[in-house]
Structure 1
């Protein structure tokens, strides 16, 4: 496939085939069970086949379909190992690449947006894309002043494709639920659809990226490429080399994984505090590990790409998050319950036992209870299973809690980042980052406690 399929009928047909395929596999699974195969094994085989078809179609279509696949792929850690193992490579590929659009189409977009003499802006321009994503692809080039740059070109028709895909996907969101136990897929699709107009606007993206680039310009840990040029459907930024995070996940050393995990956590919490913006697309394709000194992994930096989706938080992350987190750790059930009620997490007509709320939250904040925590796929799966099991108190309580709209993106970004940390298998000092960057969360010093 060489170009973004833009005809609605073509894209809809491909996506509409997914639930039909799911239904066919369900019939196949029923036959297997009648034949005497255990239901649990049949269920896993169904999950494998469903995942295989889903990610194949999403990767081909790009647009909103691929964006949904990227958002879903960070939760790969929650899948049973028997399912996740065989398809981990496919998920990673979806995060990093997609079929390129024809060179002639790229040149046409550049001529339309930069002018017929667009080549004069570059000393060099590589026609083969360096990376492809859901709404555009990136070409490596040399700007006329000698700087190496990344040229992001938006696919023609990307906006229509995004909206069409996400509308179609939302129609059978319920069927996709079993792919990630404990996660309601429909709100994720709705939220992605709500963000379409922002992501298509390269002017907004340029502003968000430049804000981060200026704030982190001299930072020893985080690198954000500066914006060089921007216009409708074309964004030129400085180029950064590095090890794609997907490669660290698949082949990195323990030291590299831990360094990447610590920096990801630092960026998650420090970004809103320093810029008033939350980078809201934390899949591995948007990060690089930059070796400063090959021998000293502790000096390596995190390169951050793609600021098309951000949450605007002028005061940083809400104080309620940090305060409730700290109070939960310290066991103040009544106070936590009151804070959640005040923020709308608990609806007025619902009565909950504060102690049960505390029990529900404690495993979620487990990484903040200790000086350092090792994120693993097994831990992620246990959390997903705990929430997904209809028989568990956590499942019943979770259905009664409400997530206010202003917290939706924060919640998804946090969960997504945790998903990536579990893919890394990183040991992270999360509490250090919370103490420094999260408003309302402070641990007393030893001097304070002794007093």
Structure 2
């Protein structure tokens, strides 16, 4: 397997060929239909061929191409079932693996960053990677103090590749749009570009992981591996075993699915409250389900390369607006959305229409427990994507302020994973515990008074 292609012209040529491939397959499909094959059969073959080419290219190129593929993979639940099948396998492959770097390249990076005697830092070091991702790959080893470790090595030229890929992908974002109904691809690519420099900085990643590891040390529900060593292009952390969430999605028991879903929701909302940081890369490859004698299962969390810094936790208006929406306070919700910039000054909307738009989306927060399904996700995507629907017309007139962009994507991505899991989750419990503003201040005071009296 060759190195990560570093020449922009090479990567650009591969990505530029994708739209031509899409057009070629459409012509092939027309020919098949003229030849007598049914539209349904041809459509499925066309989807499968498109998926195979798209994600084969994204996976081979790694860099920004694969990062984009991973970001999209959590939204496959939104695809109509007759379309989702061919995509599902190709998409989920990107969550756990990609073609590896040659051993000589890995050794070269380690020698440059850790010194000529780098191998003496390890009792053992496995040359075959245990996982490969968009900007680096992970090797299993044993540190000189006896700890099992994960050694993350950044691909040479990863930064150039990331920017080149995402620039090229943005040029034909409209062609990629139909892959995920109701989702605007271009802002996703722009947001990924904005995060490039942070993700390449293993020093920032080490800081974020240390903060989480310290806060969640001894936690009964969440395990974050400690940072062992960090330098430019190399990050060494403690190794954790467990079942990758992609395997739970494919073959897990309902107990595993429900527990993984509950812990994923708990980590999403408790992380910012406890650390001031939001883990912003919630695709299944970054999570493990770990057996635990006391609680059955714990959630192992990996890869803190992309985080949103929220010193006060999640913004108070999120909890306030969610609570008021559930209470049917249309005027108050609309006023808050205007204040926060979700409705621009030049736009005038009916508060009741806004409430009708929001209520189906926040259905999981209404019940004591909610079962997330692909069917529910598809219904939400179809409602927003259908140009004839009032939801589509209203959604086009809403605005997403920059401060909420990453929070929005992380929340949607997490919901996508919960739907892939088919998990039954007590989401309201997590919101009441961790989301500022969701429980009114007077209710908190009443609970404190009751506890003091008891």
TM range, normalised to the smaller chain?
over 0.9
**TM-score, with length taken from structure 2:** 0.95
Aligned equivalents of 2:44, 2:315: Cα separation in 1 = 40
| Contact persistence 1:139–1:152 (CA under 8 A) | yes
Aligned equivalents of 1:158, 1:343: Cα separation in 2 = 36
Task: Give how far 1:113 is off.
Answer: 0.2
Aligned equivalents of 1:42, 1:399: Cα separation in 2 = 33
Equivalent positions of 1:386-397 (< 5 A) are 386-397=383-394
Aligned equivalents of 2:393, 2:331: Cα separation in 1 = 20
Aligned equivalents of 2:200, 2:313: Cα separation in 1 = 25
Aligned equivalents of 2:38, 2:412: Cα separation in 1 = 32
- Tell me whether 1:435 sits opposite 2:432 in the alignment: yes
Structure 2 SS opposite 1:228 = strand
Task: Give how far 1:30 is off.
Answer: 4.6
Structure 1 SS opposite 2:235 = strand
- Tell me whether 1:317 sits opposite 2:314 in the alignment: yes
The answer for the alignment partner of 1:261 in structure 2 is: 261
Q: Deviations over 1:280-310 (max 9, x none)?
A: 00000000000013xx7x4310000000000
Change (3 A) 1:406 1:43: farther
The answer for the alignment partner of 1:327 in structure 2 is: 324
- Tell me whether 1:361 sits opposite 2:376 in the alignment: no
Aligned equivalents of 1:435, 1:33: Cα separation in 2 = 55
The answer for the alignment partner of 1:412 in structure 2 is: 409
Aligned equivalents of 1:38, 1:361: Cα separation in 2 = 39
- Tell me whether 1:378 sits opposite 2:366 in the alignment: no
Aligned equivalents of 1:281, 1:232: Cα separation in 2 = 21
The answer for the alignment partner of 1:124 in structure 2 is: 124
Aligned equivalents of 2:358, 2:31: Cα separation in 1 = 41
Change (3 A) 1:9 1:2: same
| Contact persistence 1:3–1:99 (CA under 8 A) | no
Task: Give how far 1:25 is off.
Answer: 2.4
| Contact persistence 1:79–1:381 (CA under 8 A) | yes
- Tell me whether 1:281 sits opposite 2:278 in the alignment: no
Aligned equivalents of 1:400, 1:230: Cα separation in 2 = 45
Q: Deviations over 1:379-413 (max 9, x none)?
A: 11111110000000000000000000000000000
Equivalent positions of 1:75-224 (< 5 A) are 75-224=75-224
The answer for the alignment partner of 1:252 in structure 2 is: 252
Task: Give how far 1:87 is off.
Answer: 3.2
Aligned equivalents of 1:408, 1:158: Cα separation in 2 = 25
Aligned residue pairs total 445
Structure 2 SS opposite 1:167 = helix
Structure 2 SS opposite 1:152 = strand
Change (3 A) 1:22 1:329: same
| Contact persistence 2:44–2:86 (CA under 8 A) | no
The answer for the alignment partner of 1:56 in structure 2 is: 56
Aligned equivalents of 1:373, 1:66: Cα separation in 2 = 32
Aligned equivalents of 1:118, 1:375: Cα separation in 2 = 47
Aligned equivalents of 1:308, 1:85: Cα separation in 2 = 31
Q: Which runs of 5+ in 1 are unaligned?
A: none
**TM-score, with length taken from structure 1:** 0.95
Aligned equivalents of 1:150, 1:143: Cα separation in 2 = 9
Task: Give how far 1:42 is off.
Answer: 5.7
Q: Deviations over 1:1-37 (max 9, x none)?
A: 3421222121111100101111222334455666787
Aligned equivalents of 2:45, 2:177: Cα separation in 1 = 16
Structure 1 SS opposite 2:348 = coil
Aligned equivalents of 1:29, 1:87: Cα separation in 2 = 18
Task: Give how far 1:224 is off.
Answer: 0.4
Aligned equivalents of 1:191, 1:378: Cα separation in 2 = 28
